[in-house]
Structure 1
Amino acid sequence: MRIRIDLAYDGGDFHGWARQPGLRTVQGEFEAALATVLRLPEARVVVAGRTDTGVHARGQVAHLDLDRAALDASAGRSPEPPLVTLVRRLNGILPADLRVRRASEVPAEFDARFSALWRRYAYRVADRPEYADPLVRQHVLIRSRPLDLAAMNAAATDLLGLHDFASFCKPREGATTIRTITRLHWEREPSGIAVAHVVADAFCHSMVRALMGCLMTIGEGRQDVSWAGERLDAATRSPAVPVAPAVGLTLEEVGYPPTAELAARLLVTRAKRDPGEVR
C-alpha cells in the first residue's frame, strides 16, 4: 500500500529536509521514527520538495510504500484505524518541532514529488519596528528598512509565467532551471507583517529566497522596478541578487490533481523541459 503523510515542522534547528551524515535533518528524524513505530530495519519516504536549512513547513507532503501486514502489526490491539494509530504513535516519539498532521492511503499512481501540480510558499517580513514581534522571531525576518510593496508587486509581474530562472537558482549538474510561476504577490497581514505568496509548479535550489532577495532590494529603493526582469533575462547567477535568509520562509501547501489524473501528471512532470518553450 502507498501512504500519503502530511507534515509540519519548524526548520530553525534542522539542517534542511534531506538526510546528511552527522547532522539533524527532517528526513533523518522522520524516517527514524517511522522505522521505530513500524518495527522495520529502515523506512524511506519520497517528499514533495526538499526544503533548505532553516526553512519551515506547514504543508509538506511525503509518501511511503508499506506492506499492509506491517501496518496492521504495528497497530497491535489499538481499537483505532491503523493509520490513526500510526499518526498518534509517530507524534508520541517525534520531537516537538516536527509533527505528522495526517496519514491516508492513496493510489499507487500518487507520487508526493512528481504528482504535484504546484507548491505554495509564504515569506514574512517585519519591516518596521512596531511590527517586530520577538515571539515569532524564528518565522518572520526583521528588516531595518520599510518595503514599498507596490514597487515589489510591479517588479514581480516580470517574473510570472514560464521562464528559465537560472539567475535565481544555485546550479546543480543535470537539473533544469525552467519553472512556471503562477503567483507572486506581496500584501500586508492585519498585524502589519509584509508577506509574499509565491506559487509555482516547482522550485529549484534557493530559488524562492533569491526571488525574495531581489524583490526586497527593489522594495527598499536600492534598484529600479525593472531590475527583476533584467536579472531574469541575464539567465546567469549573480552575487548582485542577494539570497534572503531562510527564517521568513514557509512551505504552506502542495497541490495535487484528482485521482483520475495522477497517472497523466506523472508523465508530464517526468518529461524533460524543452528550453525552446521559454521566451
Structure 2
Amino acid sequence: MMRYKLTIAYDGTKFYGFQIQPKDRTVQGELEKSLKIMTKGIDVRVHGSGRTDSGVHALGQVIHYDYPGELSEKAMFKAMNTLLPKDLVVQKVEVADSYFHSRFSAKEKIYIYRLYNGEVRNPFTRTYASWHPYPLDIDRLREALTYIEGRHDFTSFASIKDPIENKIRTIYEARVDYDSEKQEFVFLFRGNGFLYNMIRILMGTLIEIGDRRKEPEEMQRLLKLKDRKQAGPTASPLGLYLKNVIYD
C-alpha cells in the first residue's frame, strides 16, 4: 500500500459538502469513485484535512489515502485529473510517509471569506461571495478582529451540533481588506484549528458589528460568555474558502 498526499481545489456550488453521503454528491464521494475505477473495483477510503459544508469552496484542501498499488506521483496526478469532474481538480500529488494524516498532522489552516458589499446583487459572484447590501465600517471590523486573535474558548462561535468538547483554539491572524473596484471585503482567518461553523458564526457577528448593530467590544464579551445564543447568526457558506493547510 502506498500513501498519497494530494492538494485539491473545488467549486463547492454543486457539492453537498466534503463528507461522503449515501444519496448526495460530495467531494469525498467523487474522489473515491475515481479511485475505484483506477483500482478496478477496490474501495479506497479518502481522508480530508477537514469537512467543508455544502456550498463551501476550497483552494487548497489536503487529502490522503492508501492506494493498493504503486504509481508515480506524475501518473497519479494524470489519472485522477482525467477521471474527476470539472469542478474538482488535483493540484499536487506527493508520496507520503505512513504516519502522515491529512487531518491530524495539520498545524495550521487558513480560510478566507468573501463578502460582496454592493447595493445590488451581483449575478457573477452569487455563488462565490456572500452578499450584504448595507454599508460596513472597516475600522470597526478590524477592531473586532483583534479580540479573537490569540488562544480562546470559542464556545460562543461553535454550532450547538459540534460534538467536540474542547472548544479552545488559537487564532494566529485575523484580518480584513476591502477591494473598492470589486466592492468586496475579504476576511482571512489563520489558526491551529476551527470548530464546526466557527467562521460562519464569527462572520455573522462581524457583519452586525460592521453595520453598527453591535459594538466591536462585543467580540470580547462573547468569548467570555461561552454562549452560542448570544452570538450573531450563522453567515452564508457561499463566501467561505479553505485557502490552504500547513504542515511541518
128, 133, 139: which is aligned to 1:139?
128
SS in 1 for 2:229: coil
Structure 1 stretch displaced more, 108-117 or 245-254 = 108-117
Q: Percent identity?
A: 35
Letter in 1 for 2:33: A
Match of 2:212 in 1: 221
Match of 1:194 in 2: 185
Letter in 1 for 2:6: I
Q: Give 1:85 shift.
A: 2.1
Gap regions ≥5 residues in structure 1: 73-81, 258-279
Superposition pairs of residues 87-166 of structure 1, within 5 angstroms: 87-129=77-119, 133-166=122-155
Letter in 2 for 1:162: R
Q: Give 1:109 shift.
A: 2.7
Gap regions ≥5 residues in structure 2: none
Superposition pairs of residues 242-253 of structure 1, within 5 angstroms: 242-253=233-244
Superposition pairs of residues 1-279 of structure 1, within 5 angstroms: 1-67=2-68, 70-72=69-71, 82-129=72-119, 133-171=122-160, 172-189=162-179, 191-238=182-229, 240-257=231-248
CA distance in 1, matches of 2:211, 2:10: 31
SS in 2 for 1:102: strand
Q: Give 1:61 shift.
A: 0.1
Rg (Cα) greater in structure: 1
CA distance in 2, matches of 1:17, 1:174: 19
CA distance in 2, matches of 1:185, 1:56: 20
Post-superposition Cα deviations, 1:100-152, rounded to whole Å, max 9, x if no partner, equal 1121112223211111111000001111237x642232111121112111101
Q: Give 1:236 shift.
A: 1.6
CA distance in 1, matches of 2:221, 2:111: 24
CA distance in 2, matches of 1:94, 1:41: 17
Q: Is the 8 A contact 1:48 1:62 kept in 2?
A: yes
CA distance in 1, matches of 2:87, 2:118: 28
Letter in 2 for 1:5: L
CA RMSD of aligned residues (A): 1.6
Q: Is the 8 A contact 2:113 2:187 kept in 1?
A: yes
Letter in 2 for 1:139: Y
Q: Is the 8 A contact 1:38 1:71 kept in 2?
A: no
Structure with more helix by fraction: 1
Structure 1 length as normaliser, TM-score?
Answer: 0.83
Structure with more strand by fraction: 2
Letter in 1 for 2:138: L
Aligned length: 245
SS in 2 for 1:179: strand
Q: Is the 8 A contact 1:37 1:86 kept in 2?
A: no
CA distance in 1, matches of 2:146, 2:211: 18
Q: Is the 8 A contact 2:222 2:230 kept in 1?
A: no
CA distance in 2, matches of 1:96, 1:180: 35
